[in-house]
Structure 1
Amino acid sequence: MKTETTEKRLFQYALTFKKGILIGIICLMIATGMELAGPLIAKKIIDDHIVGIEGVWHQIAEKKDEKTIYYQDKYYKRSDRESANDHIIGKATLIQIDKNYYFVNREVPLTGKRSVNGDQVTIQTPEGPIKASGQKLSLTDLAQFIKPEKRPIMLLLVLYVLLLVVAGLFQFFQTYMLQKSSNQIVKKMRNDVFSHIQRLPIQYFVKRPAGTIVARVTNDTEAIRDLYERVLSIVITSFIYMFGVYIAMFFLDAKLAALCLLAIPLIYIWMRLYKIYGSKFNQVIRSTNSKINGNINESIQGMPIIQAFSREKQTKKEFEILNTRHFTYQRKLLKLNALTSHNLVTFFRNMTFVVFIWHFGSFSLEPGSVVSIGLLYAFVDYLTRLFGPINNIVNQLPLLEQARVAGGRVFQLMDEEIEDVNHIRIPRYQGNISFENVSFAYDDEYVLHDISFNIKSGETAAFVGHTGSGKSSLMNLLFRFYDPQKGKIFIDNHNIKEWSRQQVRSHMGIVLQDPFLFSGTVLSNVTMNDERISREQAIAALKAVGADRFIEKLPKGYDAEVTEGGMTFSLGERQLISFARALAFDPAILVLDEATANIDTESETLIQEALKVLKKGRTTLVIAHRLSTIRDADTIFVLEHGKIKESGNHHELLEQKGIYSEMYRMQQQGARMSLT
């Protein structure tokens, strides 16, 4: 799948819950704007209210407001705060030299190099030195000049605190909305993937280990969840924050802000380079991870066999090969990540500060230039803030690439061709079955050749033959797990291809050689949580097959807990529960696939009694190895190499002295030998 397609589809999933994302982004923009007001407020406090006391002060006749200060029996007000009603009677200058402030009783320039000798202040200007008498201010005197600034400083600080509180509230809502939307997106994706899996043809599962499919639904979607939950929110937050920082920087100094824009193409180039190599490494890592899951799943399920045949070392070696491959590519990805994050961003940040120092350093050398302390503070603050989100974006590259690769794997699964689903119920058919010249191949090699037979409603038909003769393939075709390449299959003279697969199976039941029970209760395994089957019907089915004999002895009876696979029950008990399941659904056609093959002699009588109840009033197809269990079948079909070689009832086939007769004779001899 193409990268663009994956990214586009991930974006389309995000659009599903765009309302929440948009609300989150709007809250984020408001919060960012309020938070970024901090350096501007700090600049105003520094330039206007702290350093701002330095400058020209007008002597006025009388005090008219709080902006007027009293010094040496005279009233003074800053020149930038005078009003039309103020009567100016003189001018003075407050000037800072080193760490001290000096009061000069006349107006002098504020630009140029300053020095002091005793009470003589000298200012170097392009026109020449200017000298004036200045009085050094004590802390008490300086406090008089600062006093009018206390109230506006407090007001600005209170304003900033209020902005931070409101920004915090919007930050909470943006985090909540983006995280909520992210979880909703992944929830929908997992539901879509699982729903898609249930509609995949059976051959898809035959060709792939269960663990690799599970990894797509769990591990890969978890990586995508990180994309929406962490990467999406962090990247959006970072970009909006960067945008706000750049606006503020352009407001302060457009030339330097334009130079700082060079960081964006550098980051873009790095993201493209990372994508090339990161994608390659992540593809191997995620595919290997799926194989590891498949290997673990297979090993756990086959642990009795592994231990019985002393295959622990070989199994461990196979796992170590996969694990080493996973480790090798994780290490390569780690090296790639080591080039990013702190190292890359620190380099960009240091280079930017070099440009910053060069810009303001050269600017300050120009005659008549003035660079305020507040401006320098604000710009340094914004530069520091700028590289925070850049660092966040670069740090998300590994997760972004993992999510992109995981998304490709998930969408690859979702692009697998699925079967049409149609659950519209059809009337219960009678169960007449007809195969007409059916041939079937799983791949290229045919396993069934020109099969034709008829089974009437209510009859019991058995299929026997050596392993690989095609018995189970016939049942797979009847259930429409597969469709034949040649020929037709009819139920009640209706071609089953004209029904959906769900409709074909709606009146069929199956009991397997190794019955499978799901986690839950005994009753839930009978009803399969189908609302159409009541508790009373399920209990009646269990009693009908004789399962009540052991179930009612359980502590919770019919509500007893069943573990995965039902391993707390014996094989015979599991088989009886599966018989009850088939009986509760009342199928018109019942398939017994080696249902009694593994049953011990003690349980066989009970099972045979249950089978008589189960087969009553329905068409029954039996796949059997024990020929003694099918002697009462109406018709027995003998298969060999995918062809029907013999057919008839038990006595007819014995009289033919063919394949069936030989198989029966050998089984009888084996039974007599086991008794002796």
Structure 2
Amino acid sequence: MNKGKRLVRYATDQKRYVIPGVICLALAVAADLAGPLIAKRIIDDHIAGSEGGGMEFAPILMLLAVFMGLAVVTAVFRYAEYLLLQKGANRIIQKMRNEVYGKIQTLPVRYFDNLPAGKVVARITNDTEAIRDMYVTVLSQFATSGMYMIGIFAALLYLEPAMGAITLLLIPVLYIWMLSYRKYASKYNRIIRGKVSDLNAMINEAIQGMTIIQAFRREKQMEQEFNELNDEHFKYNNKLLFLDSATSFNLVDVLRSMTFIAFILYFGNVALSAPAAISVGALYAFVDYITRLFNPITGIVNQFSRLEHSLVAAERVFELLDQEGEDVSDEKIARYRGNVRFENVWFAYKDEEYVLKGIDFEAKQGETVALVGHTGSGKSSIMNLLFRFYDPSEGRIVIDGTDITKLSRQTVRDHMGIVLQDPYLFTGTILSNISLDDPRISREDVERALEAVGGDRVLKNLPGGIDAPVVEKGVTLSAGQRQLVSFARALAFDPAILILDEATSNIDTETEEIIQHAMDVLKKGRTTFVIAHRLSTIKNADRILVLDKGEIVESGSHDQLLAYGGQYAQMYKLQAGTQATGKIG
């Protein structure tokens, strides 16, 4: 379905506003356009056509009263039309934004890998606002102008069919001009919308990375890069401005002049010659209608730019809505026992650039399995697959005998908990960040989870306790505090499978000891996967898997791997030596 039909479908979904609004618009136009006909009757019947040169004021006053009454009727119906169509437009955009945001929730993580957050935000906010502008202003203006033009053409054909037919030539001229305008404006608008997304992405990135920018004194460089991008945006806006300037009033003025030339030639040579002379009242009405005709024409021409701007925005929004997503499932399954098995798993983020090669291991219920290796060895990729952020390219992952790809992503994650290296906190409170407003998790559950991880001792000094406010990403909290909140969040959901992805890498030694003590108790009955660079934190793991370039090169307990004398032993000795040196120094 093309974007035009889809935009119409959104409008028809709000027919309870649109249809009454269009009816009110039609009545307002009819009442407004009746004015010149009343003026014609006053002039022909009671002024120019009065007998004996006198005028009867009673019928003139009556017709003037009708004229004023029609003006009031026009105002009332225009008010109702505006209100209804604006409500309809707001409802359409409300629905569209909900659909776009809902679609984002269903898109796989892979979609966001190469798409900056600012570009996604631009589609939800800027592009939908441009579409709203189309419904509120552009289509409203087109509908109003279209009805006025139909009414005026009908009146002109009624008053003088031949001259009325001549004015109809304006319609193909406008249509051809619109097609010509769109040919160039569409190109410019696509570039402009793209640049707006790029600007949003750069601003979003700069705000998030402001600490690094200022720490490394990159303010001027960032400003220069922004200025270059902004200059590109300015250049194409200027091109569109030149195109708009060549149309709008210039086009309308040319058409108006041509129409009045045709009007003068026609009535000068044909209509005023006997016996085809036109009455003074009809001549006045004809001039009035022609004058009025160019108001809606100006309105339509002036909206060409906004229309094209909105259509390009709609194209970008529909492109996102057309992305293949997965329905969010509410299906529930019984709590896992926690037996996890990777069977010859291969995985690549891009084509056949495999980051995991033939991964084969099993974690039994209640076991703690640690994953170690150099950066880029594939540790986090294994956890991404287990959580179904991605699916294996080859092989399969089985939990309690069930291939996880046979279940919806939400169902797979229902009994899993995860703590990331860089925990994300949402705007709200400590309480809402741990419970995530899940009705199954009470305030008491949150307090117990915090106590279990030792977070109550660290967070107790915050004003308001667990009701302390949290700003975006929790930037007012320390790294250790954020990590403890994230840890308590995972435990509050009582997962059967717990994943700790570098969970202790960003916290101080004291906080690490708090978490380590809690973990010895909390791991009971749970299958736990730990990714760690600090090898001292995984000495008690049931099994340690050493990865190198996407392959498992060593497997065993801490003592076994030390005795083996391979990569793990080298890494452990290196870290132990570094720590010893640090203590001596």
Q: Give the TM-score, by structure 1 length.
A: 0.84
Matched, 1:250 2:157: yes
When structure 1 is superposed on structure 2, of 316-325 and 543-552 the one drifting more is: 543-552
Residue of structure 1 in register with 2:415 after alignment: 507
Residue of structure 1 in register with 2:509 after alignment: 601
Contact residue 42 and residue 63 of structure 2 kept, 8 A: yes
Q: Distance in 2 between matches of 1:326 and 1:196?
A: 29
Contact residue 579 and residue 610 of structure 1 kept, 8 A: no
Residue of structure 1 in register with 2:534 after alignment: 626
Distance verdict in 2 for CA 1:437–1:372, change over 3 Å: same
Residue of structure 2 in register with 1:34 after alignment: 31
Residue of structure 2 in register with 1:62 after alignment: none
> Identity of paired residues, percent?
56
Matched, 1:221 2:218: no
CA RMSD of aligned residues (A): 1.4
Matched, 1:291 2:202: no
* Structure 2 letter corresponding to 1:435: F
Contact residue 541 and residue 558 of structure 2 kept, 8 A: yes
Q: Distance in 2 between matches of 1:557 and 1:660?
A: 42
Residue of structure 2 in register with 1:265 after alignment: 172
Q: Distance in 2 between matches of 1:160 and 1:611?
A: 85
Q: Distance in 2 between matches of 1:16 and 1:613?
A: 56
TM-aligned CA deviation for residue 310 of structure 1:
2.4
Q: Distance in 2 between matches of 1:642 and 1:365?
A: 93
Q: What are the residue-to-residue correspondences of 1:473-622 with 2, within 5 Å?
A: 473-622=381-530
Contact residue 579 and residue 614 of structure 1 kept, 8 A: no
* Structure 2 letter corresponding to 1:400: L
Q: Distance in 2 between matches of 1:207 and 1:500?
A: 24
Q: Distance in 2 between matches of 1:34 and 1:189?
A: 35
Residue of structure 1 in register with 2:259 after alignment: 352
Matched, 1:643 2:559: no
Q: Distance in 1 between matches of 2:25 and 2:540?
A: 77
Distance verdict in 2 for CA 1:495–1:369, change over 3 Å: closer
TM-aligned CA deviation for residue 613 of structure 1:
4.6
Contact residue 271 and residue 397 of structure 1 kept, 8 A: yes
TM-aligned CA deviation for residue 31 of structure 1:
0.9
More helix by share: 2
Q: Distance in 2 between matches of 1:364 and 1:509?
A: 87
Q: Distance in 2 between matches of 1:420 and 1:252?
A: 61
Residue of structure 1 in register with 2:294 after alignment: 387
* Structure 2 letter corresponding to 1:409: R
Contact residue 429 and residue 588 of structure 1 kept, 8 A: yes
Q: Distance in 2 between matches of 1:293 and 1:663?
A: 43
TM-aligned CA deviation for residue 315 of structure 1:
1.8
Q: Distance in 1 between matches of 2:465 and 2:496?
A: 30
Contact residue 286 and residue 406 of structure 1 kept, 8 A: yes
Distance verdict in 2 for CA 1:247–1:485, change over 3 Å: same
Deviations along 1:419-475, one digit per CA (max 9) or x if unpaired, are: 243221111111110011111111121111111111111111100000011000100
Aligned to 2:2, what secondary structure does the other structure show?
helix
Quick one: higher RCO (CA 8 Å, sep 6+), 1 or 2?
2
Aligned to 2:310, what secondary structure does the other structure show?
helix
* Structure 2 letter corresponding to 1:644: I
Residue of structure 2 in register with 1:91 after alignment: none
Residue of structure 1 in register with 2:361 after alignment: 453
Q: What are the residue-to-residue correspondences of 1:52-67 with 2, within 5 Å?
A: 52-53=49-50, 55=51, 57=52
Contact residue 272 and residue 278 of structure 2 kept, 8 A: no
Aligned to 1:458, what secondary structure does the other structure show?
coil
Select which of 201, 223, 227 maps to 1:316. 223
Select which of 285, 288, 299 maps to 1:378. 285
Aligned to 1:36, what secondary structure does the other structure show?
helix
Matched, 1:43 2:21: no
Aligned to 2:417, what secondary structure does the other structure show?
strand
Residue of structure 2 in register with 1:126 after alignment: none
Q: Distance in 2 between matches of 1:364 and 1:621?
A: 94
Aligned to 1:509, what secondary structure does the other structure show?
strand
TM-aligned CA deviation for residue 543 of structure 1:
2.4
* Structure 2 letter corresponding to 1:233: S
Select which of 9, 32, 41 maps to 2:6. 9
Distance verdict in 2 for CA 1:464–1:177, change over 3 Å: same
Q: Distance in 2 between matches of 1:431 and 1:362?
A: 97
Unaligned runs of 5+ in 2: none
TM-aligned CA deviation for residue 414 of structure 1:
1.3
Deviations along 1:209-231, one digit per CA (max 9) or x if unpaired, are: 11111111111111111111111
Q: Distance in 1 between matches of 2:43 and 2:244?
A: 41
Q: What are the residue-to-residue correspondences of 1:114-125 with 2, within 5 Å?
A: none
Aligned to 2:49, what secondary structure does the other structure show?
helix
Select which of 54, 63, 83 maps to 1:176. 83
Q: What are the residue-to-residue correspondences of 1:71-110 with 2, within 5 Å?
A: 94=53
Deviations along 1:7-50, one digit per CA (max 9) or x if unpaired, are: 12112222211232111111110111011111111111111112
Residue of structure 2 in register with 1:139 after alignment: none
* Structure 2 letter corresponding to 1:489: I
* Structure 1 letter corresponding to 2:203: I
When structure 1 is superposed on structure 2, of 391-400 and 421-430 the one drifting more is: 421-430
* Structure 1 letter corresponding to 2:42: I
When structure 1 is superposed on structure 2, of 642-651 and 157-166 the one drifting more is: 157-166
Q: Distance in 2 between matches of 1:525 and 1:613?
A: 23
Contact residue 252 and residue 298 of structure 2 kept, 8 A: yes
Q: Distance in 2 between matches of 1:601 and 1:507?
A: 30
* Structure 1 letter corresponding to 2:578: G
Deviations along 1:305-362, one digit per CA (max 9) or x if unpaired, are: 1222222232222212211111111010000000121111111111111111111111
Q: Distance in 2 between matches of 1:660 and 1:321?
A: 49
Contact residue 182 and residue 225 of structure 1 kept, 8 A: yes
Residue of structure 1 in register with 2:73 after alignment: 166
Q: Distance in 2 between matches of 1:588 and 1:360?
A: 90
Aligned to 2:398, what secondary structure does the other structure show?
strand
Q: Distance in 1 between matches of 2:59 and 2:441?
A: 78
Unaligned runs of 5+ in 1: 58-93, 95-144
Q: Distance in 1 between matches of 2:348 and 2:301?
A: 53
Deviations along 1:395-435, one digit per CA (max 9) or x if unpaired, are: 11111001111111111111112124322111111111001
Select which of 213, 228, 235 maps to 1:328. 235
Matched, 1:438 2:345: yes
| Greater C-alpha radius of gyration | 1
Aligned to 2:346, what secondary structure does the other structure show?
strand
When structure 1 is superposed on structure 2, of 277-286 and 39-48 the one drifting more is: 39-48
Matched, 1:305 2:212: yes
Select which of 86, 94, 101 maps to 1:194. 101
* Structure 1 letter corresponding to 2:144: T
Residue of structure 2 in register with 1:467 after alignment: 375
Aligned to 1:52, what secondary structure does the other structure show?
coil
Select which of 371, 390, 400 maps to 2:307. 400
Q: Give the TM-score, by structure 2 length.
A: 0.97
Aligned to 2:149, what secondary structure does the other structure show?
helix
Q: Distance in 2 between matches of 1:507 and 1:150?
A: 88
Contact residue 450 and residue 456 of structure 2 kept, 8 A: yes
* Structure 1 letter corresponding to 2:368: T
